[in-house]
Chain A
Amino acid sequence: MDILSSFYSGLLVVLEPHNLMYCFIGVFVGTFIGVLPGIGSMAAIAMILPLTFYLEPTSALVMIAGVYYGAEYGGSIASILMNIPGTPAASITAIEGYPMAKKGRAGVALFSTATASFGGGMIGMIVMAALSPSLAKLALSFGPADYFAVILLGLIAASAVSNGGALKGITMVVAGLMLGTIGIDLTTGDLRYTMGIPELRDGVHIVIVAMGLFGVSEVIASIRTNKGGSIAQKIDYNHFYPTREEWKSLFAPIMRGGAIGSVFGALPGTGQTIAAAIAYAVEKRVNRAKNLFGTGVVPGVAVPEAANNSATQTAFIPTLTLGVPGSPPMAIVIGALMIYGITPGPRLLTEEPDLFWGLVASFLVGNVMLIILNIPLIGIWVRLLQIPYKYMYPTIIVLICIGVYSLNNNVFDIWLTLIIGAVGYWMKLYKFEPAPLLLGFVLGPLMEEQLRRAMLLSRGDPMVFLERPISATLIAITVAVLIYAFYAAIRAKKITASTSSEVQQEGPNT
């Protein structure tokens, strides 16, 4: 009951006209940028960040969140119609979505993804509303050792479930960790890897890394690859609604996808892409129509969308209740809140209830807006996809430069973004994934900070990690995950090489 009344008061906050407006701007801009191939929620949030500096914290957070899940909705549009995923998570949607479009059922696929996204989003929202208060209460007694254990679990879980290209993945995580150590060492004040450049004293801002890797490099790549505008099928409103059987087949996958997404979203480290991939892999084993998977079936297109949208909402759980980013874009959210003097952590729920519950309620409002944007107004987005990239991408580069400059009013940051973008393009050519890099960049320094702090507080006794019950439990889970990962890897090798990497193999060529 307490949660319901809190939710209701949050709803009143969101329904204030200005918050409604920011929520709408958020989901609209999110969908807009999500639709554009390759440029996902990370770049979308980074681009809208400067606009939020002068808003109230609640409006700013509602808008940033809207961009975040809006981009996940938008990401599926290009992946279904053109087999070009708008966001990394949407590449899983393309597995079933693009074949459906080729069969002339693009409308049904889009309708199903919008419905599944909504369903997944609502599951994520309910999980967040139900779990956050008790997690926050538990976290009141969290010390650095406990935070360290949470992050360790997240990083290990992320590497355990992401399959394929282990060496390249680890290389990227380490590269991210190294980038993250640039700047003043928090514990001693020493400068690390600044190479005498004063602008590097404060480290590299996450927005710069994200814009470089996910924005600039994508634009460079588009010069060679994407020419834009080849759409599998025109949207025709007569063929928009699923059949009665398909309607029925939607429900269970949405519930399963939403549940899987909630778990992986809430774990720091694993995010929407992993959630979508795992949900799809699970669905392929349990669904009644599993034999038809890969040919373009409604449950197959619904499940990754439900998973990635619920993961998007639950990523806010550790972000707001622990101050540990649930996914890389959440690191930007934490940074934005700090600007307002709000420190995300266990006290946020009680000290800023309007902010927290306003955000939770905005998920409902925003998802309803997205249903409207995505079903009756789908035509707008389809037309957006037909804008030639020679107009679209230069505009994006300009927006990126403005966004980066506004962080510190410093031109150096623009150059750094462009350099990271060029390196990111090189990584793309050699098939190094940028996502693990960002993960290492975001969580690595945080883990180091908590580790060294825990050791200082325990006066150098490492047993503190096993003596504190929360930390000990989490470390035990981490060890279990590791053992399971080794076991699964060995078993997978025994069966066939193909089963362990089916998601990768069947993924679209981007």
Chain B
Amino acid sequence: MIRNYLKSIGASAMALSLLWAPSAMAEPGAWSDEPVRIVVTFPPGGASDLVARLLAQYLDTEFGQKAVVDNRPGAAGTVAADYVAQQDPDGTTLILANNAPYTIAPTRFKSIPYDPVNGATHVAYIGASAPGLFVQPSAGIKSLEDYITHVKDTPMTYGSSGVGSISHILGEAVDASLGVESIHVPYKGSSPAIQDFRAGVLESFYDLAVQNSDMIEDKEAVAIAIASSVRNPELPDVPTFKEQGYDIVVENWVGLSGPAGIDPATVSKINETVLAVFANPEVQDRLTELGITHRAMDSQGYTDFVANQIEVWAPLIIATGIAE
């Protein structure tokens, strides 16, 4: 990976000018002679970074489009989103977009230095993973119904991966929808929460469901429900909130976006190429392992999706109490 990185730096240094011609027909393929930078809002490691690296790898090997991953973590993803918004809209700087800077930040922060919808070109949606609710096996809770009966009497503590994280937002959504008040215990990421859950001090937690399939198999945790619109093929036995009559869909989406004003021909070229990468069965297998369900969307569909998500999430974010 380092060698690729160095190679692409070398390539960019040697590229004297930007030589590309927009093709009328969008066919998968390289869209720039320069290496494309995929900015990631998280430090190296973690699912988002892995998706970006997977994409970069297949763009190069399948379509000859050099790509490098550029990690710019900080301030809930807004540092990266702001940085990308200020780059030239030539398709060489893209961001692995997600909830944090585009869905949550607009409601959470008083002001953000970029416009999440019109200040960006949303090029290609990639997919989403959904969190679920897990309880201690010793509590004797087997279903959402059991859970409701239990928490109506005695509020439960639940762990999340942080204030304002997707697992916290889901917790608030469930509370609001069931009309209960649980005790939120925030952690720094999901693994310390799971550690406390396993130590028996935490009664329940919310976390991306597929990542905890081992605990479900080992009967260390009972998965009550998942917050996706349909069941996850990796966890066929875990029901959705939706199918049990509670319209709670809170998904962690990822997509590829760029600065505002990327030429439409380039946008469709990138969109087609990215879709072709994610149509590859090997890539799909990797996504499934990460618990991400892929869906194809064109640029317009993805832009509408982002705008819609901001609205859907706004009341949930306000309910978490993190909005400034």
State in angstroms the CA–CA spacing of A459 and B201 once bound together. Answer: 12
What separation, in Å, do the CA atoms of A143 and B192 have in the docked complex?
10
Kindly state the separation between the CA atoms of A346 and B200 in the bound complex, as whole angstroms.
14
A202 to B80, CA, bound (A): 14
Which of A54, A187, A409 is in CB contact (< 8 Å) with B163? A187
Query: Please, how many residues of chain B have a CB less than 8 angstroms from a CB on the other chain?
Result: 40
| B321 within 8 Å of A (CB atoms) | yes
Residues of A within 8 A of B185 (CB): 453, 456-457
B163 close to A184 (CB less than 8 A): yes
In the assembled complex, which residues on chain B have CB atoms less than 8 Å from the CB atom of A191? 324
Chain A 173-200, CB-CB to B under 8 Å as 1, else 0, gives 0000000000011111101000000110
B157 close to A189 (CB less than 8 A): no
CB–CB A341/B78 < 8 A: no
13 pairs from A and B in contact (CB 8 Å cutoff): A53-B44, A54-B2, A142-B199, A144-B201, A186-B186, A188-B163, A189-B320, A189-B322, A341-B45, A347-B195, A453-B186, A456-B185, A459-B157
Interface string of B178-207 (1 = CB under 8 A from A): 000001111111011001101111100000
Residue of A nearest to B75 (CB): A201
Residue of A nearest to B184 (CB): A456
Q: Once the chains bind, are A408 and B321 in contact (CB under 8 Å)?
A: no
Complexed CA–CA distance, A191 and B200 (Å): 31
Residue pair A457, B195 in contact (C-beta under 8 Å): no
Q: How far is the CA of A322 from the CA of B41 in the complex (A)?
A: 28
In the complex the two chains form, is B74's CB within 8 Å of A186's CB? no
Task: Give, as a whole number of angstroms, the nearest-CB distance from B180 to chain A.
Answer: 15
The docked-state distance in angstroms from the alpha carbon of A343 to that of B196 is 12
Flag if B46 contacts A141 (CB, 8 Å).
no
Are A345 and B192 in touch, CB under 8 angstroms? yes
Q: Residue of B at shortest CB range from A345?
A: B195
CB distance from B47 to the nearest CB of A (A): 9
| B45 touching A339, Cβ below 8 Å | yes
Q: Does A140 contact B (CB under 8 A)?
A: yes
Indicate if the CB atoms of A340 and B45 lie closer than 8 Å: yes
The one of A144, A189, A409 that contacts B196, using a Cβ cutoff of 8 Å? A144
For A141, the chain B residues whose CB sits under 8 A away are: 199-200
Task: Tell me which of A140, A144, A202, A409 contacts B72 (CB under 8 A).
Answer: A409
Choice from B70, B184, B189, B198 contacting A140 with Cβ under 8 Å: B198
Residues of B within 8 A of A (CB): 1-2, 43-46, 70-76, 78-79, 113, 157, 162-164, 183-189, 191-192, 195-196, 198-202, 320-322, 324
Q: Assess whether B74 is in contact with A202, with CB atoms less than 8 Å apart.
A: yes
Tell me which residues across on chain B come within 8 A of A143, comparing CB atoms: 196, 199-201
Which residue of B has the minimal Cβ distance to A143?
Answer: B201
Which residues of chain B come closer than 8 Å to A229, judged between CB atoms?
none
* A198 contacts B189, C-beta separation under 8 Å: no
B69 CB → nearest A CB, Å? 11
**Within 8 Å of chain B (Cβ to Cβ): is A338?**
yes
Which residue of the partner chain B has the closest CB to A54?
A: B2
Give the distance in Å from the alpha carbon of A469 to the alpha carbon of B44 in the complex. Answer: 39
Expressed in whole angstroms, the Cα–Cα distance for A453 and B321 within the complex equals 18
- Residues of A contacting B199 in the complex (Cβ-Cβ under 8 angstroms): 140-143
- Give A184 to B44 CA distance when docked, in angstroms: 21
Residues in chain B near residue A386, CB distance under 8 A: none
User: Please, what's the 1-or-0 string for A347-368, where 1 marks a CB less than 8 Å from any CB in chain B?
Assistant: 1000000000000000000000
A507 CB–B CB distance under 8 Å: no
Q: Does A410 contact B (CB under 8 A)?
A: yes
Q: For the complex, is A379 an interface residue (Cβ under 8 Å from B)?
A: no
Contact partner of B157 (CB less than 8 A), chosen from A323, A409, A457, is: A457
Which secondary structure characterizes the binding site on chain A?
Answer: loop
Q: How far is the CA of A407 from the CA of B4 in the complex (A)?
A: 20
List residues of chain B with CB within 8 A of the CB of A338.
45, 189
Are B188 and A186 in touch, CB under 8 angstroms?
yes
- Chain B min CB distance to A148 (Å): 12
Interfacial chain A residues near B2, Cβ < 8 Å: 54
List the count of A-B residue pairs having beta carbons below 8 Å apart: 93
Given contacts A143-B196, A144-B196, A343-B192, contact A199 B1 (CB under 8 A): no
A201 vs B192: C-alpha distance when bound (angstroms): 21
Residues in A with CB closer than 8 Å to B113 are 198
B79's partner among A140, A189, A410, A459 (CB-CB below 8 A) is A410
Interface centre among B1, B45, B188 (most CB of A within 10 A): B45
Task: Give the residue name and chain of the A residue nearest to B108 (CB).
Answer: A189
Q: A188-B321, A189-B321, A408-B73 are in contact. Are A456 and B157 (CB under 8 A)?
A: yes
Q: Are B198 and A339 in contact (CB under 8 A)?
A: no
Known A143-B196, A188-B163, A343-B191: A202·B75 in contact at CB below 8 Å: yes
- In the complex, are the beta carbons of A457 and B202 less than 8 A apart? yes
A residues 344-397 in Cβ contact with B at 8 Å: 345-347
- Listed from nearest, the 9 A-B pairs whose CB atoms lie closest are A189-B163, A143-B201, A343-B191, A189-B322, A201-B75, A339-B45, A456-B185, A198-B75, A409-B72
For B163, the chain A residues whose CB sits under 8 A away are 184-189
Tell me if B74 and A408 are in contact (CB < 8 A): yes
Q: Evaluate contact between B183 and A459: CB separation under 8 angstroms.
A: yes
| Separation of A140 and B196 alpha carbons in the complex (Å) | 9
CA distance A335 to B223 in the complex (A): 30
Give chain B residues whose Cβ lies under 8 Å from the Cβ of A340: 45
CA distance A449 to B189 in the complex (A): 13
Instruction: Give the CA-CA distance A340 to B75 in the complex, in Å.
Output: 20
Q: Which residues of B contact A54 (CB under 8 A)?
A: 1-2, 44
Does A198 lie within 8 Å of B44, measured CB to CB? no
Taking CB as reference atom, which chain B residue is nearest A202? B74
Contact A456 B73 (CB under 8 A): no
B46 and A341: CB pair below 8 A?
Answer: yes
> Chain B residue with minimal CB distance to A347?
B195
Q: How far is the CB of B195 from chain A (nearest CB, A)?
A: 5
Cβ contacts under 8 Å, B162 to chain A: 186
The reply to whether B43 and A339 contact each other, CB–CB distance below 8 Å, is yes
Q: Which A residue sits closest to B200, measured CB to CB?
A: A141
Given the complex of chains A and B, what is the CA–CA distance between A118 and B186 in angstroms?
43
Residues on the A chain within 8 Å of B186, using CB: 186-187, 453
Contact status B79-A198, CB under 8 Å: yes
Write the A242-260 contact mask toward B (1 if CB under 8 angstroms, else 0): 0000000000000000000
Least Cβ distance of A304 to chain B in Å? 36
Cβ-defined contact, A199 with B188, below 8 A: no
Q: Which of A418-457 touch B at CB < 8 Å?
A: 449, 453, 456-457
Which residues in A have their C-beta under 8 angstroms from that of B1?
54
What chain B residues lie within 8 Å of A339 (beta carbons)? 43-45
Whole-angstrom distance from the CB of A145 to the nearest CB of chain B? 8
Identify which of B195, B201, B324 contacts A346 (C-beta below 8 A): B195
A contact residues around B201 at 8 Å (CB): 143-144, 457
Chain B residue contacts of A323, Cβ below 8 A? 192, 195
Task: State in angstroms the CA–CA spacing of A338 and B201 once bound together.
Answer: 23
Provide the bound-state CA to CA distance between A186 and B185, in Å: 10
If A202-B73, A339-B45, A410-B79 are given as contacts, then 8 extra A-B residue pairs at C-beta distance below 8 Å, sorted by A number, are A143-B196, A144-B196, A184-B163, A191-B324, A201-B74, A346-B195, A408-B79, A453-B186
